[in-house]
Structure 1
Amino acid sequence: MSEKVFPSNAPEIEAQRERLAEAGGPGASSPSASTLAHRAPSPFWLDRLLEAGLVLSMALYYYAGNSHLGSGPFFHLSPLATLPFLFVFMILCWYRPAMAIALLPLSLPLYLQQKTVFSHYSFSAAEIALWSCATVIVIQALVWRRRWPYWLTWSELRARLGPFLWPILLFLGAAAFSIVIAYNRTVALRAFREEVFDPLVYLLLALCCLRTRQDLVRLLLALFATGLLIAFLGIGQYLDLLAHGASLSDLPRINTVYGSANSVGLLFDYTLPMGLALMLMPRVTTSGFLASWRCRLLTLALCLPLVFVLYLTRSGGAWAACAGAVIFLIACAIADRRLLLICGLGLTLLAGLGLLCFHSNISSYLLERHANAQGIGTLTKRLYLWESALHMIKDSPITGYGLDNWLCHYSLNNVCHSTNLYHYWITTDPQTHQPTGLRYEPDLSHPHNIFLQIWVSVGIVGLLAFLAVLVLFFWLLFRILGHLYRQAEADPWLVWGTLGIGGAMVAALIQGMVDSSLLEQDLAFCFWILVLALLLLRVLSKTPWRSQSASVRAM
C-alpha cells in the first residue's frame, strides 16, 4: 500500500518551498529567483511574514474583548467588534492551512483565560484556532473536491495511523461513554470536548495537512516556543515580585498564567526536551546547521530561560522529569550497546549506593517538602490521594466516574456540590488517627497520578487503550530511530524530532506519576502532538510498520 508524502497536485508555492528547504534554504535558489528577489520577498521571508500574520491576527482577536486578560477599553470590546481579526486569521489560513495547523501549539498556555465568543459561550485560544482552521479546511475541501491538495483517501489515512487507530478509537469511545455515567454530565461533556475530542480532531487535521519535513519542524519548534513564551512570562513575574519587595528566601513559586507552579513544570516536560535534544543528539552528519557549534550555542541560550523558570517553580516532579529526559537522550546518543549497558549499570549502582547511604536524608526531604502549617508534606498527601483513588476504583473499576468528576466523589467542596454521594477522601489516617492534611485541600481536582486519573475518569477500557498508545509509541519511536541510525546519511532534522518527542514523552510520564500530565486541555494537546509528530516522522523517514522479513512471511 502506497502512502502520499506530498500531495500530487499541490500548488506551485508548496513545491517551490520544499525544494528550497531541501536545498538548504533561500540561499540555494536559482539565478532567476535571485534576479526576482528585488521585486518580491523570497519564499523564506514570505513564510516568516505569513507566520507572523497568523500569530498576530489570532493574538489580537483573542486579547481584544477578553476581560480575563486586562481591564482597559481594548479588553472590553464587544465580540462583534473583534471579528475582523478572526477573518484575517482565516484568510491567511486559507492561503496556508498547513502553516496555521502547525502553529496551533502557540495558543495552548492561555486555556484558562477563555474568551467570550458570543452570548455566554467562552472558548480557549486553542479551540478558536482549531475550529477556525477546521472551518477553512472543510470549505476548501468542498470547493476544490478532488483537486484539494491535502486530500487523503480512507486507506491512506488508515495507513498513516497504522495500529494506533484502534486504541485511539477505544479511548475516544470510553471517554464519550463516561459522559453518560458521570454525576455532573455538564462538566464531563465540557472536559470531553476540551481534553479528548478537540485534541483528536487536531490530530486528524494535522495528519491530512502536514506533509513535508518543514511542516514537521515548524510544529515542533512551535511546541518549544510555547514553553519559551511561558518562561519569559515567568521571568517577568519573578522580576515583578522582586520589584515589590519579595526576598529570595520567601519568593513565591512561579506560576505565570496557571494557578499552580506544577502546571508550568508539566508544560516544560513537553517542551524543554525539544531543546535538550538539539544539544545532546549524536552527530549524524558532518555538515549543516545542526552539526555546527552555533546550533548548540543558540539552543543553550534558548533553553536557559526555561531551566531558570523551572528552578523557580520548585516542582520536584518536573525536576525529576527533565532529569529523566536528559538520561533518555544521552542513552539514545550512545551507539555502542556495550558502553550503554556499562553506563546504565554504573548509574544504577550509583543511585543504589546513594539511596543506601543517604536514605534517611532523602526520605525526610521528600516527605517534608512543601509542608503545610501542620507539617504535612505534599508527597505524604499524595499517598493518601492515591489510596482514595484506589478505593474509588475498587467500587467502580469498569466504567469509572466520568471525566472531571473526581471532585464530586472525592470530598465535600464548593466546586461540585454532591452531598448525597459517598466521599472517599481520607482526612485521618485509619492506623495512626493522625490528620492527613487533605481536610484543608478539599478541591484537589485529580488524584495526582496519570494512570489513576484516567482509570477513575474513563474506566478500565480507557486505561487499557491509553496504555496501548504508550506501548505503540515507544515501539515505533525506537523503530524509527533504528531505521535512521542505519542510514549512511540520516536526515538530522528527523533524528532531532524523534529524540525530542521521545524525551518529552519520558518527561511527561515521569511527572505524570505524581501529577496530571494528560487530562488538562494544554497537556492533552501536547500529548497527542507527540503522537502526531511520531506518525509524521514514520512517513517522512520511510519507516515501514513491519520489517521486510515479516512482510515476506505474511505473503
Structure 2
Amino acid sequence: MLDLTYIILFISTALAFLLLCLMNRALGLAVLCALLPTYLLRLTVPLPGTAGFVLPTTLLEVLFLELFVFWFFTRRRSRLEKRLLGPWIYPATLLLVGATIGTLMAPDILPAAGLYRAYFVEPFLFFLVFTDIVRGRSERRLVLGALGATVAVIGVTAIFQKLTGFGIPNPLWQAEETRRVTGFFGFPNALGLFSAPVTVLMVGWSVALIRSESLLQRTLSLLPALAAALGILAILFAVSEGAAVGLAAGLALLGLLMRPTRLLTALLLIAASATIIFHQPTQDYVSLMFSLRDESGGVRRIVWDESVDMLADRPIFGAGMSAYRSTLPPYHEARHIEIFMYPHNFGLNFWSETGLIGLLGFIWLAILFLLTNSRIRSSFPDEWLPTALIAAMIAILVHGIVDVPYLKNDLAFQFWILLGLTESMRRQFLVLQEEDGD
C-alpha cells in the first residue's frame, strides 16, 4: 500500500507540475528551482521489452524532463540568442567532453551513465532552458525567491531536528551531545553545500531591498533576511565547518563589495581578527582547523595523498565516472579510513571523474562566471546581483576545497542556475548597451 501511495503521489506531482508549465513557463521553472531536493525521491521504471531491466529516476529528473520537452516545442529562437550563448559553450563543451570520456572509460558503465546524465547532461540542458525563459528582473526574482523558500524550509527543518533529534539517520549525529542536523538530506554536509551559496544570495538581496526608496520594498526585505537567518542556523546546527567557512568567506566578500555594508564588514573583520589574535582558545581552534590538524582535516589529508598517488598513474583521464571507489584500493593504505565516493576536494573530484579535460572546463566556467559578473558590476554599479553571485561562487569554491560541490543532483543544477542568472543579466545589459550605443 505504501509503495502504491508513493507512486500515486509521485505521478500526481509530475502531472501538477506539467499543468503549471502549460500555464506559466517561468513559474514552472521557478518551482523546479525550489524543488531541487526532490532528487531524494526515487523511482525505478521497468522498461518494456527488456529482461527485467529498470531505469532508475528521481522526481527532480521527471520534473526537469517535463519542463525541457515543453520548452523545446514552444521555445523562441533568434540569431542574436545563438550568438549570445557563445562565451559559455566552449568551457561547457570541455566539461561535457571530459565527462563523456570519463563515462566511456568507467569499469561499470551503467551507474557511470546515470551520473553522467544527472550531473552533466541534464543540468546543462537546464541551463539552455533557463537562459531562454529567464530574460529579465521579474523572472530572476522568481528564481531567487524559489531558492530562498527552499533554504527557509531547510532551516525550519534543521531547527526542529536540533530540538528533537527526529529524522536524523545517524545515531551519533542524533545524540543530543553530538547532534548534527541533516534536514531532509542524508548527511550534514549536504545541507551546508546546498544552503551556503543561497544564503549569501539572500543576504545580498535583503541589503539591496533595504536600500530601496519604496516602503514596500524595504518591508519585503524581511523575507530574504529571514531565509538567510534560517540558512545560517541550518549550517550552524549541521556543524558543517566547511560550509561555515565557505559562508563566512562569501559573506565577508559580499559585505566588502557592497557599499552600504563595507564599513560594518571591515569592523567585524577587524574584531574577528583581534579575537583570533588575543583569545588563545579561539586562536588554537582556528589554527587547528585551517592547518587540517584536527581529526576531519587529518582524514582529508590522507585521502588527498592517496588520491594524488592514484591520479599520478592516470593523469589525463582520471579514474573515470563513478570509478573512484573501485580504482583507489591499491593505493589505500590507511585501512582505518573508509574509501569515500570522491576525494573531497573540487579539483581532485573533477580530475578523478572527468579527467584533466573536465577539470579544465569546470575551472574555465568558474573563472568566466567571476569575470562576467565583475564586468556587469563595473558597468552597472547599482545592480546588486552580480556582486552576490560572485560571493556565492566564492562560498562554493572555498567549501569545495574540503568537500564535494557540484557532484550531486541538486548541486549540479544549482551551479548552472547561478550561471543562468549571470547569462540572463549579461544578455539584458548587453541589449541595453547596444541601445545606448544607437
TM over 0.5: yes
Amino acid in the other structure paired with 1:473? F
In structure 2, the partner of 1:391 is 309
Q: Distance in 2 between matches of 1:467 and 1:368?
A: 24
1:537 has 2:433 as partner? no
Relative to structure 1, the CA distance from residue 499 to residue 534 in structure 2 (aligned partners, 3 Å threshold; closer, same or farther) is same
SS in 2 for 1:121: strand
Q: Distance in 2 between matches of 1:285 and 1:78?
A: 46
1:137 has 2:67 as partner? no
Relative to structure 1, the CA distance from residue 247 to residue 95 in structure 2 (aligned partners, 3 Å threshold; closer, same or farther) is closer
In structure 1, the partner of 2:123 is 199
Alignment of 1:145-184 (within 5 A): 150-153=75-78, 155-184=79-108
Amino acid in the other structure paired with 1:476? T
Amino acid in the other structure paired with 1:483? S
> In structure 2, which of residues 38, 41, 44 is the aligned counterpart of residue 113 of structure 1?
41
SS in 2 for 1:103: helix
1:274 has 2:208 as partner? no
Q: Percent identity?
A: 23
SS in 2 for 1:541: helix
Please identify, of 78-87 and 92-101, the stretch whose mean Cα deviation from structure 2 is larger. Answer: 78-87
Structure 2 unaligned runs (5+)?
A: 48-53
Q: Distance in 2 between matches of 1:235 and 1:118?
A: 39
Relative to structure 1, the CA distance from residue 518 to residue 88 in structure 2 (aligned partners, 3 Å threshold; closer, same or farther) is closer
Relative to structure 1, the CA distance from residue 166 to residue 81 in structure 2 (aligned partners, 3 Å threshold; closer, same or farther) is closer
Q: Is residue 271–residue 504 contact of structure 1 (8 Å, CA) maintained in 2?
A: yes
Shift of residue 211, structure 1, vs aligned partner = 2.2
Relative to structure 1, the CA distance from residue 211 to residue 444 in structure 2 (aligned partners, 3 Å threshold; closer, same or farther) is same
1:499 has 2:426 as partner? no
Q: Is residue 317–residue 354 contact of structure 2 (8 Å, CA) maintained in 1?
A: yes
Larger Rg: 1
Relative to structure 1, the CA distance from residue 186 to residue 346 in structure 2 (aligned partners, 3 Å threshold; closer, same or farther) is same
Relative to structure 1, the CA distance from residue 544 to residue 516 in structure 2 (aligned partners, 3 Å threshold; closer, same or farther) is farther
Q: Distance in 1 between matches of 2:279 and 2:402?
A: 20
> In structure 2, which of residues 365, 371, 375 is the aligned counterpart of residue 475 of structure 1?
371
Q: Distance in 2 between matches of 1:468 and 1:365?
A: 29
Shift of residue 505, structure 1, vs aligned partner = 0.9
Q: TM-score if structure 1 supplies the norm length?
A: 0.69
Alignment of 1:315-464 (within 5 A): 315-334=240-259, 353=277, 360-364=284-288, 377-411=295-329, 423-427=330-334, 439-464=335-360
Shift of residue 80, structure 1, vs aligned partner = 7.3
SS in 2 for 1:504: helix
Higher relative contact order (CA 8 A, sep 6+): 2
Structure 1 unaligned runs (5+)?
A: 1-72, 142-149, 370-375, 412-422, 428-438
Q: Distance in 1 between matches of 2:317 and 2:146?
A: 37
Relative to structure 1, the CA distance from residue 88 to residue 326 in structure 2 (aligned partners, 3 Å threshold; closer, same or farther) is closer
> In structure 2, which of residues 403, 423, 432 is the aligned counterpart of residue 515 of structure 1?
403
Q: TM-score if structure 2 supplies the norm length?
A: 0.86
Aligned alpha-carbon RMSD (Å): 3.5
Please identify, of 528-537 and 110-119, the stretch whose mean Cα deviation from structure 2 is larger. Answer: 110-119
Relative to structure 1, the CA distance from residue 84 to residue 393 in structure 2 (aligned partners, 3 Å threshold; closer, same or farther) is closer
SS in 1 for 2:44: strand
Q: Distance in 2 between matches of 1:80 and 1:295?
A: 37
Q: Deviations over 1:460-496 (max 9, x none)?
A: 11111111111111111111111221xxxx4xxxx34
Amino acid in the other structure paired with 1:130? F
Q: Distance in 2 between matches of 1:317 and 1:424?
A: 26
Q: Is residue 92–residue 365 contact of structure 2 (8 Å, CA) maintained in 1?
A: yes
Q: Is residue 20–residue 27 contact of structure 2 (8 Å, CA) maintained in 1?
A: no
Q: Distance in 2 between matches of 1:255 and 1:470?
A: 28
In structure 1, the partner of 2:233 is 308
In structure 2, the partner of 1:524 is 412
Q: Distance in 1 between matches of 2:272 and 2:433?
A: 33
Report the structure, 1 or 2, having the larger helix content. Answer: 2
Q: Is residue 147–residue 198 contact of structure 2 (8 Å, CA) maintained in 1?
A: yes
Q: Deviations over 1:347-394 (max 9, x none)?
A: 99759956999755533466798xxxxxx7111010011111211221
